[in-house]
Amino acid sequence: MSRNRLGRPPAYLLLPAGLAVALLLVPLASLVARAPFGSLLERLAAPEVLDALWLSLWTATAAMLASLVLGLPLAWLLARVEFPGRSLVRTLVTVPLVLPPVVAGVALLTAFGRTGVVGAPLRELGVTIPFTSTAVVIAHTFVALPFFVISVEGALRATSQDYDEVAAVLGARRGAIFRRVTVPLAAPGIAAGLVLGWARSLGEFGATITFAGNYPGVTQTMPLAVYTLLQEDLEAAVALSLVMLLVSVVVLALLRERWFGQAAR
């Protein structure tokens, strides 16, 4: 360790850094302090809460898998294949990152709603998406996919293309290079992208409540349950938030090896 070998860090950097940590941690600590620990287990064991937790977990996982299936090929195309309009595509797929989630929800309604561009023909076939868990997964995928694509594209770009060339010289076709070289080498980045996307799904609120609605057991995910409870019973909302916080910490622990581990190297 080269601990302070270059001299003491200056106060004008230490102070804002400390404030940044305080800004991020004080609210979280207050949330924990405010938690109704006496009734915590009882509250969390309530069927509505368990429903919301289960729904959140499986829809986020489904969205993660959808991101993998759809997003990995897209990230690969963006990172490895030159085609006209590539930078435009890259910009467009990241738009949902800056879109207010509620607007994302409205956009999803105009596409997959009962009278939407895709939704109306689907309705003819007897399929309606809003107010279903499918809608939750679509909303989650919509917001998580850009995270995944950006993160994986970055990972692919960081992985040397030299190996792709070596594989080509050795006779591997493009698909085989993707499967046997590119993906294994970018695997840590892909895993990080999956975790990021999953975490994003788990915290998703605006698009879900707008597009999928809010009904316990069907479309009421943890954040929706927290928001609903917030209207009347803050302690219950805090209890649920604690669960979300716990899940975030676990996710970060999973990412630790990759992010903090690499930074320390």
Q: Which residues bind other proteins (CB under 8 A)?
A: 34, 109, 113-115, 128, 130-131, 162-163, 165-173, 176, 180-181, 184-185, 187, 209-210, 212-216, 219-220, 227-236, 238
Min separation Cβ 3 and other proteins, Å: 27
Smallest distance, other proteins to C-beta of residue 171, A: 4
Which residue number, 40 or 168, has a Cβ lying nearer to other proteins?
A: 168
CA 126/CA 118 separation, integer angstroms: 13
Identify whether the C-beta of residue 110 lies closer than 8 Å to the C-beta of residue 35: no
Within 10 angstroms of residue 147's Cβ, the number of other Cβ atoms is: 23
Q: How many other β-carbons are positioned within 10 Å of the β-carbon of residue 107?
A: 19
Least separation, in Å, of the C-beta of 192 and other proteins?
17
| 229/244 with CB nearer other proteins | 229
Shortest gap between Cβ of 74 and other proteins (angstroms)?
Answer: 23
Report, in Å, the least distance between residue 10 CB and other proteins.
33
Q: Is 163 left (phi over 0), alpha (psi -120 to 50) or beta?
A: alpha
Token digits for 10? 């200056």
Place of tokens 């909302």: 237
Q: Decide whether 81 or 169 has the Cβ nearer to other proteins.
A: 169
Residue 207 contacts residue 102 (beta carbons within 8 Å): yes
Closest CB to other proteins among residues 71, 116: 116
Residue among 70 and 230 whose Cβ is closer to other proteins: 230
Question: What is the C-alpha separation between 124 and 115, in angstroms, rounded?
Answer: 10
Q: How far is the CB of 165 from other proteins (least distance, A)?
A: 5
- 178 within 8 A of 76, measured Cβ to Cβ: yes
Alpha-carbon distance 2 to 20, whole Å? 24
Q: What is the distance between the terminal CA atoms of the chain, rounded to a whole angstrom?
A: 10
- Residue 117 backbone class (left: φ over 0; alpha: ψ -120 to 50; beta: rest): alpha
Looking at beta carbons only, is 9 or 173 nearer to other proteins? Answer: 173
